[in-house]
Amino acid sequence: MQDIAEQLQAWHASGRSFAVATVVGVSGSAPRDPGAALAVDAAGEAVGSVSGGCVEGAVYELCQEAVTSGRPVLERFGYSDEDAFAVGLTCGGVLDVFVQPITPGADPAMDAGITYIASGTPVALARVIEGPAALVGATVAVTADSHHGRLSPAPTTTGALERAAVAEARAMLDAGRTGKVVLGLDGRPCDEEELGTVTFFVESYVPAPRMLVFGAIDFAAAVVRIGKFLGYHVTVCDARPVFATARRFPDADEVVVDWPHRYLDSQLDRIDGRTVLCVLTHDAKFDIPLLERALRLPVGFVGAMGSRRTHRDRNARLREVGLTDAEIGRLRSPIGLDLGARTPEETAVSVAAEIVAHRRGGSCLPLSAGDGPIHHDLARAQEEKARSHAA
């Protein structure tokens, strides 16, 4: 919903009713991740997407029906071999979509949630998508220190369920995670297969992940552009003011003149496990103090540019300053996948490809070279879930 938040806020501010269809479950080779959303207002205007086209028409109609009826609905879409004209995913996956009507002023949790999302304030929306009919559609908006909306007035709930839902949503917000949470009516964690449970879909809306690009070189400008394309908040940092200018990096969110290691030290409260560091200076006086710190931080990705010889020299210097082999092993160097890249733009594609593969668990092989799942992170999540059930 975050990518359509501005439009939803405009509809909400004008008092216009609308319905939001959200992907709440994915299995197999589905086109969009959980949290992808399509919204339709009372006049029939649509924004967003849940499937990239496969089932968009059917979901649009569900949204229109929800606006009229005022009732939420959970719908499953999958490929139908029996009926070639059935609505479904041509990729063979399964998509669960929850459609919720929203009337401004009628639901304090959704009112607060839409406002928080539009303002960039971190918030988690916990919505009941399955359970007792009186609860389906109930929503709690949770921030780091407060929450809006209530579950307990419904006759089938207890205060324990609401407290548990808020605690689970706050933990997922802290980790920046989106997904399902299944609880018993008494608030205890349950499996989806158990009877008498309530399934929440928790969507965490947090600021865009950060990409810190160190080294204001020509390759950096291309990396900045592709970083923005991938949805990162991109900062360029270099100690040389003649190179680190907004004019040279118009696509960057921030351009900072400072020594890289000193700037990183000042950002410890703004980096997390989603943060990406691209060290492009390949100059030891900048790289070593920076990497000595970066490789000890819980960031998602640290990569450094340079030749094989630079890489070997860099590793030796890092050992001299006290880094362990395990810490040095976190460094992706030389940065990027082997695409045969030559130009700054090609190199940026190479860097971005490695970042995506590292984040999603990709094999870095051509898709045509294998016959396994296309979406590695979803397959891994399903395997982990199966193992936890078996245990």
Residue 373 lies in a domain: no
Instruction: Tell whether 142 and 251 lie within a shared domain.
Output: no
Contact 222, 335 (CB under 8 A): no
Residue 387 lies in a domain: no
Close Cβ partners of 175 (under 8 Å, ≥ 6 residues apart):
204, 273
Radius of gyration of the chain (CA): 23
Contact 354, 302 (CB under 8 A): no
Among residues 207, 225, 260, which one ends one of the domains?
A: 207
pLDDT along the chain (391 residues), means of 10: 85 95 82 86 94 82 96 83 43 82 93 88 94 92 91 68 93 87 91 84 90 95 96 96 96 97 95 93 92 95 94 95 96 95 95 93 83 60 52 51
Alpha helices in the chain, H assignment, sequence order: 5-13, 56-69, 108-119, 159-175, 218-229, 260-266, 284-294, 308-320, 325-328, 344-360, 376-390
pLDDT at 88: 47
- Which of 245, 233, 335, 343 lies closest to 291 in space, CA to CA? 335
Alpha-carbon distance of 383 to 370, in angstroms, equals 19
Long-range CB pairs of 79-85 (<8 Å, 24+ gap) are: none
Instruction: Tell whether 128 and 93 lie within a shared domain.
Output: no
- Which of 217, 304, 210 lies closest to 254 in space, CA to CA? 210
- Which of 238, 192, 200 lies closest to 219 in space, CA to CA? 238
In which domain, by residue range, is 48 found? 1-103
Instruction: Tell whether 141 and 282 lie within a shared domain.
Output: no
Instruction: Tell whether 259 and 292 lie within a shared domain.
Output: yes
Instruction: Tell whether 169 and 270 lie within a shared domain.
Output: no
Instruction: Tell whether 19 and 136 lie within a shared domain.
Output: no
pLDDT at 2: 74
Instruction: Tell whether 69 and 115 lie within a shared domain.
Output: no
Helix (H, G, I), strand (E, B) or coil at 158: coil
As to burial, measured by CB atoms within 10 angstroms (0-12 exposed, 13-18 middle, 19+ buried), residue 373 is middle
Alpha-carbon distance of 283 to 39, in angstroms, equals 49
Residue 285 lies in a domain: yes
Contact 105, 76 (CB under 8 A): no
Alpha-carbon distance of 279 to 260, in angstroms, equals 9
Residue 265 lies in a domain: yes
Instruction: Tell whether 252 and 350 lie within a shared domain.
Output: yes
pLDDT at 119: 82
Name the strands in the sheet holding 331-332, side by side, starting at the edge strand that comes first in the sequence.
254-257, 233-238, 210-214, 276-279, 301-304, 331-332
pLDDT at 55: 84
Cα 385 from chain centroid (whole Å): 20
Residue 45 lies in a domain: yes
Alpha-carbon distance of 244 to 247, in angstroms, equals 9
Number of domains composing the chain: 3
Instruction: Tell whether 42 and 181 lie within a shared domain.
Output: no
Among residues 86, 103, 120, which one ends one of the domains?
A: 103
pLDDT at 3: 78
Instruction: Tell whether 45 and 136 lie within a shared domain.
Output: no
Instruction: Tell whether 331 and 343 lie within a shared domain.
Output: yes
Contact 302, 331 (CB under 8 A): yes
Residue 122 lies in a domain: yes
Long-range CB pairs of 252-260 (<8 Å, 24+ gap) are: 252/213, 252/224, 253/228, 255/216, 259/286, 259/289, 260/214, 260/215, 260/286, 260/287, 260/289, 260/290
Q: Is 52 left (phi over 0), alpha (psi -120 to 50) or beta?
A: left
Alpha-carbon distance of 126 to 285, in angstroms, equals 48
Residue 329 lies in a domain: yes
**Sign of the dihedral defined by the CA atoms of residues 2, 7, 12, 18, in that order:** negative
Helix (H, G, I), strand (E, B) or coil at 261: helix
- CATH code of the domain in which 278 resides: 3.40.50.720
Alpha-carbon distance of 186 to 198, in angstroms, equals 10
Residue 316 lies in a domain: yes
Instruction: Tell whether 320 and 202 lie within a shared domain.
Output: no
